[in-house]
Amino acid sequence: MIEVNNVSKRFLITKSLDNCSIKLETGKIIGIIGENGSGKTTLLKLLSGLLRPSSGDVLIDSEKVTRRISSKLAYLTDADYYFPYFTIEELIRYYESQFADFDTEKALQIIDFMKLKLEQKIKYLSKGNRNRLKIAVTLSRNAPYILLDEPFSGLDPLVRKAILKGMIQFVDLSTQTVLITTHEIKEVEPILDEVVLLRDGRVLVKQSVEEIREAYGLDIVSWMEKVYEKGDI
Ligand SMILES: Nc1ncnc2c1ncn2[C@@H]1O[C@H](COP(=O)(O)OP(=O)(O)OP(=O)(O)O)[C@@H](O)[C@H]1O
């Protein structure tokens, strides 16, 4: 389980997260959604240990997250700079040497599924293909928690669809939990179990997608608009 207890994160004058508390159960695909600057990336970085809270605690399976990235997490960054001098094959070997949970066979399957070639040099890949590669190596780790920060940015709609399909195929929800930040809510909605909605660094609400559909008869975007409008549904 992921627990965020009264967490705030300040950068000089900016308050990126403001007294957030959430509990996220395992075995689910959870969407972290909200407008630009609402704190989605900050939240993932705090979970991964890349940032430390200004106050409050982040716990993963009851263990406090320290500065070092927890070995329990596979983290897909939204940063564009990504091992430019490696070929895809060299990157796979590198991941293999760094992560005990890296599944090379799965990596080769996903690379093939993503229509990438092992001999391609990363610096010559298009942005979209670099993103496919990042998704491929992240999903190839059999880590209990997979954090994906904007995994679909720069990908064309057909590829997004294929990758969503792949995500279901290559993630094992009996042992893994996935957190995705995204603005492509409509496309991702079909695979989400829960959403956490942020605004101005605060968690407005965490809700199951089924409840949103059944109780309110709404898709997530319409629900999000309503919550933003009224502060609640
Ligand atoms: N390193 C930093 N230094 C200063 N301010 C920062 C830093 N990182 C984030 N912020 C600020 O914190 C707030 C939340 O940023 P964050 O990137 O978490 O939002 P986001 O919801 O992921 O946004 P987007 O949807 O645009 O990617 C923003 O106001 C941002 O400018």
pLDDT 10s digits, 200-224? 999 988 989 998 888 877 788 888 8
| Residues at CB less than 6 angstroms from ligand 1 | 11, 14, 16, 34, 36-42
Neighbours of 199 (CB within 10 A): 19
Task: Say yes or no to pLDDT of 6 above 90.
Answer: yes
Residue 147 confidence (pLDDT): 93
CA-based end-to-end distance of the chain = 26
CA 89–ligand 1 middle distance (angstroms): 33
Distance between CA 145 and CA 71 in Å, rounded?
9
Ligand 1: atom nearest CA of 42 is 18
**Res. 226: pLDDT tops 90:** no
Q: CATH classification of 23-51+65-230, choosing from 1.10.10.10, 3.30.420.40, 3.40.50.300, 3.30.1300.10?
A: 3.40.50.300
What residue ranges in 77-199 does DSSP mark as E strands? Answer: 145-149, 177-181, 194-199
* pLDDT score for 175: 92
Q: Dihedral, CA atoms, 47, 144, 186, 125, nearest 10 degrees? A: 90
pLDDT in tens, 145-164: 999 998 887 788 888 888 88
Query: Which H or E element spans position 165?
Result: helix 157-170
Closest atom of ligand 1 to 43 CA is: 18
Going from the Cα of 66 to the center of ligand 1, the distance in angstroms, rounded, reads: 21
Task: Tell me what percent of the residues of the chain surpass a pLDDT of 90.
Answer: 51
What's the pLDDT at 69? 60
Radius of gyration from C-alpha coordinates of the chain: 18
Question: Which range has highest mean pLDDT (20-29, 71-80, 185-194)?
Answer: 20-29
**Tokens standing for residue 72:** 């329990």
pLDDT band at 232 (very low <50, low <70, confident <90, very high): low
Q: Whose CA is nearest to atom 8 of ligand 1?
A: 42
Tell me, in angstroms, the distance from the centre of ligand 1 to residue 37's CA: 5
Q: Which residues 6+ apart lie within 8 Å of 147 measured at CB?
A: 44, 47, 48, 73, 74, 75, 76, 178, 179
The arithmetic mean of pLDDT across residues 61-76, rounded, is 80
Domains in the chain: boundaries: 23-51+65-230
Among protein residues, the one with the nearest Cα to ligand 1's atom 7 is: 11
Tokens 């996935």 — which residue? 178
pTM of the model: 0.90
Q: Which ligand 1 atom lies nearest to the CA of residue 38?
A: 21
Q: What separation in Å is there between the alpha carbon of 58 and the centre of ligand 1?
A: 18
How many angstroms separate the alpha carbon of residue 159 from the centre of ligand 1? 27
